[in-house]
Amino acid sequence: MTDLHPVRRALLSVSDKTGLIELGQALSERGVELLSTGGSAKALRDAGLTVKDVSDVTGFPEMMDGRVKTLHPGVHGGLLALRDNDAHVAAMKEHDIVEIDLLVVNLYPFEATVAKGADYDTCIENIDIGGPAMIRAAAKNHGFVNVVVDVEDYATLLAELDQNDGATSSRFRKELSQKAYARTAAYDSAVSNWMANALELAAPKRRAFAGDLKQTLRYGENSHQSAAFYTDGSNRPGVATAVQLQGKELSYNNINDTDAAYELVAEFDPAETAAVAIIKHANPCGVAVGNDLLDVYNRAFNADSLSAFGGIIAFNRTCTPAVAEAITTVFVEIVLAPSFDVEALEIFKKKKNLRILEIGAFGKRVAKLEVRN
C-alpha cells in the first residue's frame, strides 16, 4: 500500500498574498481545482485563474465582516474526512461534501498589528478564527491532507508534487502538519500574552511561549550541547532585532553575552550620558559613563583590561571613528551600538572576523520578560 495521495483540490485563503498568484498558476497547470475566499479569490481571478468560491461549497455567503466564511461542515468535512473510512465517505456523499487535499492558509497579521502599536479593538479584529480552525483540522488529517502555512514552503510543495506525479508522501504531510501546529501554537501564544499585557497581568495563570527560528547554532554553551536561536516577533530593541553588519555568525555564548551587554548599557539614557559596557562570560569587566565616548570607552576598558580580552563592547551612542581605532588595537568579539559612523565601519573592516551589531534607536525601554529553563 502506497503512502502517496494525489492532490486534486486545494483551498487557498491567505492574508499575506506573496507568491499566491504563482502558486495558483502552478497548481492549476497540474490539474488542481482551486477553492478560495474573499481577497484571495479575487487576486486569483484577476490573474486569469478559474476559482470556485468557498461560499458555493458551503451554501452560505461570507458574513459579519468576514468573521464567518469557512466555519462550516462543507469545509471542515472536506478537510477532516478519512478517505479510507466507508462511513466518512458515505457522509461526504450524503451531504455533498467534496474532498480538500491541500489547504494553504496564512493568518491575519496579529503579531504585526500589535508590533505597530494598534489600539485594543484593532488588535481584536486581527485575531484569526477560521484560519487556525482549518489549519488544525487539516493538520490532524495529515494522513490524506497537506497544509501549508508558510510562503517559503510553496516551492517545496510544488517540488514534492512533481517528484510524485501530482501526489505527496506521508513524511511530507507529517512535516507540514508539525509546522502547522507550531504556527497555531505561536499565534495563540501571541494573542494570550498580548491580552495579559493589555490587562496588566504580571503573572497570568498560564503563560505560553513561542518563537521563530532565526538561526541554528553550531553548539550550545559547551561543544557537546546543541542550540538554536529563536525570536518571538516583538520589536523590542536587543540582540534579537540587531542587524549584523560584518563578522562571523553569532554563537550561543556570543548571543548570551551580547544580550547582557545591551541590557546593561541600555540602563543609561543616551540623551543624558554616554555609556559603555564591556562583558565577558556574562559578567561586566568594565562600565563607564560620561560626556566623551572615547574617554568613556577608555575608562571602561581600563577597569579590567585583562578580562576585557575577547569580550563584548556595547555603546548607547553612535560609535565614532576615534573609538573604532581604539577598539581595533585589542581583541574583542563583538561591538554593539545604536549606529556606526561610516568611517568607523571602514576602520572595523580591518578586523574581518569582528562582529558588528547595529541596534538602532534605543527609544523608550520596556520591561523584559525573562524565562529561565
Give burial (CB, 10 Å; 0-12/13-18/19+) of 96. exposed
Rounded Cα distance, 299 and 294, in Å: 9
Rounded Cα distance, 8 and 122, in Å: 37
| Catalytic-labelled residue, pool 42, 95, 281, 368 | 281
Residues 6+ apart with CB under 8 A from 324: 340, 341, 343, 344, 345, 347, 348
CA-angle at 187, arms to 186 and 191, nearest 5°: 115
User: Is 140 one of the catalytic residues?
Assistant: yes
Alpha-carbon dihedral sign for residues 52, 58, 61, 67: negative
Q: Which amino acid is at 52?
A: K
- List the beta bridge partners of residue 216: 228
- List the grid coordinates of 283: 559578567
Alpha-carbon dihedral sign for residues 320, 326, 329, 331: negative
Q: Is 366 helix (H, G, I), strand (E, B) or coil?
A: coil
| Catalytic-labelled residue, pool 17, 52, 88, 140 | 140
Q: Which among 354, 336, 110, 113 is positioned nearest to 237, based on CA atoms? A: 336
Catalytic site residues? Answer: 140, 281
